[in-house]
């Protein structure tokens, strides 16, 4: 099987090394040899430490889609649109198989690409787009196909998980740990796609589509990043028996499918709480299989190339089906369950002036919005100065919490916007 690769960065280079370094093993598993015959990259002359003898370079990536000596195109350019999207469309229209690691493109254009692939009768596979080396797409689409999924949730971004882990272990705040992560290469110079939750939300859109039988609906995801999580919040969470994780959660409800990506407090003994550092972890709750936990490296040359090559082996063996598990022609965007209808317990931290009557004003705001307080913590006193008040609520609706916190934020004694972190019942 002859391959054309577009993009020779970290993942593209890793894919070439894997295909060449394990050629005999992969041939045995694929039933035929899998060879790179052509490539396209931004700088063809750059030294990459790869053996590219015999590999034809194409300046225009779209040439890979038209080349008669290419059976499958591997798109590793990235980006939701532009050349990457044009290449995938052109390759599918030319009747070529496509493997991609591009979660942004699929989250925004996956429905149309799935229809095109199925109309042309060719595979479009994307195991590498979600959680690197964890075979979660195959697990959902095949291994758990007999299950009606109730909920899928997980840690979908290693950069954010690394930052939160380091903040907890060292007591340092977000900005300092982010700078360290950038120095180590775990975070980009512009980290916004990671720390603001966009990368993980793209992945959640794909997981939800497969789990609940719909088209990806990125627009229906509530997204919050980790910029506002402080070392103080992490320390309070630890004292209360929790850890803070950035979780993507997709859950079936009576109103539709709830999709949200935000910091959560989870019990220390929960399986997802044990996933640390740059690792990803995903939990699927099926009606037959129960809780199935997946954990592994979510990024990097080796893990992601492993997923790319696994898809190529499936194509070589003829093992593929509908892009999102069921025929795309019958799929519709997932019906969103409004976040305001979500109910759960909440952690709230307030920075207030330490003076008489403040607690009564706070309690009145919660009472006015029918929110019940489970516990309250104030460590020490400092009359006339700013102190932290931490409380845990009983289960309350999202709209009630927002109303209460908006009222509290307007109080004269409150020195900064209230911090709220949802407590996820796992």
pLDDT tens-digit readout, 358-377: 999 999 999 999 999 999 98
Active-site residue 203, yes or no? yes
pLDDT at 360: 94
Average per-residue pLDDT for the chain: 94
Residues 19-37 have a mean pLDDT of: 96
**Residue 62 reports pLDDT greater than 80:** yes
Residues 384-400 have a mean pLDDT of: 93
SS3 track for the chain: CEEEEECCCHHHHHHHHHHHHCHHHHHHHHCCCCEEEEEECCCCCCCCCCCCCCCEECCCCCHHHHCCCCCEEEECCCCCCHHHHHHHHHHHHCCCEEEECCHHHHHHHHHHHHHHHHHHCCCEECHHHCCCCCCHHHHHHHHCCCCCEEEEEEECCHHHHHHHHHHHHHCCCHHHHHHHHHHHCCCCCCCHHHHCCHHHHHHHHHHHHHHHCCECCHHHCEECCCCCCCHHHHHHHHHCCEEEEEEEEEEECCCCEEEEEEEEEEECCCHHHHCCCCEEEEEEEECCCEEEEEEEECCCHHHHHHHHHHHHHHHHHCCCCCCCCCCHHHCCECCECCHHHCEEEEEEEEEEECCCCHHHHHHHHHHHCCCCEEEEECCCCCCCCEEEEEEEECCEEHHHHHHHHHHHHCCCCECCCCEEEEECCC
At the second CATH level, the architecture of 2-133+322-329 is: 3-Layer(aba) Sandwich (3.40)
Residues 313-326 have a mean pLDDT of: 96
* Domain 136-297 part of CATH 3.40.50.11400: no
pLDDT-wise least confident of 196-200, 266-270, 328-332, 341-345: 328-332
**Residue 41 reports pLDDT greater than 70:** yes
pLDDT at 36: 96
The hierarchical CATH code for the domain 342-423 is 3.30.70.260
pLDDT at 419: 96
Confidence of residue 51 (pLDDT cuts 50, 70, 90): confident
pLDDT at 233: 96
pLDDT-wise least confident of 83-92, 136-145, 371-380: 371-380
Residues 320-327 have a mean pLDDT of: 94
Residues 251-274 have a mean pLDDT of: 95
pLDDT at 380: 67
Residues 25-36 have a mean pLDDT of: 97
Give the residue extent of every domain in the chain: 2-133+322-329, 136-297, 342-423
Confidence of residue 68 (pLDDT cuts 50, 70, 90): very high
Q: What are the tens digits of pLDDT across the range 163-197?
A: 999 999 999 999 999 999 999 888 889 999 999 99
**Residue 252 reports pLDDT greater than 70:** yes
In the chain, pLDDT over 90 holds for what percent of residues?
Answer: 87
Residues 212-219 have a mean pLDDT of: 93
Residues 218-230 have a mean pLDDT of: 95
- Of the residues 96, 103, 138, 203, which is catalytic? 203
pLDDT at 52: 85
pLDDT at 393: 97
Residues 258-274 have a mean pLDDT of: 97
Confidence of residue 43 (pLDDT cuts 50, 70, 90): confident
């Amino acid at each position: 099987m002859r391959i054309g690769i577009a993009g020779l960065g970290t993942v593209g280079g890793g894919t070439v090394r894997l295909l060449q370094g394990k050629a005999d093993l992969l041939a045995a598993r694929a039933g035929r040899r899998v060879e790179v015959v052509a490539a396209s990259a931004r700088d063809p002359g750059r030294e990459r430490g790869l053996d590219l003898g015999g590999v034809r370079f194409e300046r225009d990536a779209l040439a890979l889609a038209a080349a008669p000596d290419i059976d499958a195109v591997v798109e590793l350019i990235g980006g939701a649109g532009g050349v990457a999207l044009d290449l995938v469309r052109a390759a599918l229209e030319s009747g070529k198989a496509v493997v991609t690691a591009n979660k942004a493109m699929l989250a925004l254009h996956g429905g149309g690409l799935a229809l095109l692939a199925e109309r042309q009768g060719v595979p479009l596979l994307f195991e590498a787009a979600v959680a690197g080396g964890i075979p979660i797409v195959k697990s959902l689409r095949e291994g758990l196909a007999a299950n009606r999924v109730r909920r899928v949730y997980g840690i979908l971004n290693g950069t954010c998980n690394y930052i939160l882990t380091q903040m907890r272990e060292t007591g340092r705040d977000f900005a300092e740990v982010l700078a360290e992560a950038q120095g180590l290469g775990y975070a980009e110079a512009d980290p916004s796609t990671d720390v603001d939750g966009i990368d993980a939300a793209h992945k959640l859109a794909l997981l939800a589509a497969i789990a609940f039988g719909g088209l990806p609906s990125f627009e229906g995801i509530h997204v919050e990043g980790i910029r506002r999580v402080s070392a103080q919040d992490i320390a309070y969470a630890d004292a209360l028996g929790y850890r803070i994780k950035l979780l993507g959660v997709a859950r079936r409800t009576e109103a539709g499918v709830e999709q949200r990506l935000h910091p959560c407090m989870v019990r220390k003994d929960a399986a997802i709480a044990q996933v640390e550092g740059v690792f990803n972890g995903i939990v699927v709750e099926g009606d037959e299989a129960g809780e199935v936990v997946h954990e592994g490296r979510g990024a990097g040359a080796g893990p992601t190339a492993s997923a790319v090559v696994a898809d190529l082996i499936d194509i070589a063996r003829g093992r593929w089906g509908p892009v999102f598990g069921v025929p795309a022609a019958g799929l519709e965007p997932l019906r969103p369950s409004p976040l305001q209808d979500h109910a759960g317990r909440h952690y709230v931290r307030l920075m207030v002036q330490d003076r008489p009557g403040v607690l009564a004003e706070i309690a009145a705001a919660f009472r006015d919005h029918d929110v019940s307080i489970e516990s309250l913590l104030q460590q020490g006193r400092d009359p006339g100065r700013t102190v932290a008040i931490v409380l845990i609520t009983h289960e309350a609706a999202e709209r009630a919490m927002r109303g209460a916190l908006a009222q509290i934020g307007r109080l004269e004694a409150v020195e900064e916007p209230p911090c709220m972190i949802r407590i996820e019942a796992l």
